């Protein structure tokens, strides 16, 4: 299931955390919410870590890109409404 299918099943505060911390390691409670909503997270262990990626649970790169695009679209919509 793609992020566009489960994104709406997250609460507003969870969505905002993902926007504000896009690409960062996910807190355990948020991992549980994402999985419950139908999403998938990638677990990076110490043995898998690149020099710049600490161990933890992460969204896939495609999901991170989708969140960035969605956040940018929302920012643009807000700017258009203010004009």
Q: What is the pLDDT along the chain (83 residues), one digit of tens a residue?
A: 899 999 999 999 999 999 999 999 999 999 999 999 999 999 887 666 566 667 799 999 999 999 999 999 877 554 334 43
Each as own residue / partner, the long-range contacts of residues 34-43 (CB below 8 Å, 24 or more positions apart, any chain) are 34/6, 34/10, 34/59, 36/9, 37/6, 37/7, 37/9, 37/10, 38/1, 38/5, 38/6, 38/9, 39/1, 39/3, 39/6, 39/63, 40/1
The residues near 41 (Cβ < 8 Å, ≥ 6 apart) are 26, 31, 34, 35, 57, 58, 59
Domain count, the chain: 1
Q: What is the pLDDT of residue 81?
A: 42
Q: What is the pLDDT of residue 64?
A: 97
Q: What is the pLDDT of residue 26?
A: 97
Q: What is the pLDDT of residue 54?
A: 75
Containing domain of residue 72, as a range?
Answer: 3-82
The answer to whether the predicted template modeling score (pTM) of the entire model surpasses 0.85 is no
């Amino acid at each position: 299931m793609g992020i566009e299918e489960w994104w709406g099943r997250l609460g507003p505060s969870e969505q905002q955390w993902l926007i504000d911390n896009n690409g960062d390691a996910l807190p355990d409670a948020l991992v549980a919410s994402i999985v419950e909503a139908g999403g998938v997270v990638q677990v990076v262990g110490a043995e898998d870590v690149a020099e710049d990626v600490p161990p933890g649970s992460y969204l896939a790169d495609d999901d991170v890109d989708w969140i960035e695009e969605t956040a940018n679209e929302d920012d643009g919509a807000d700017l258009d409404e203010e004009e």
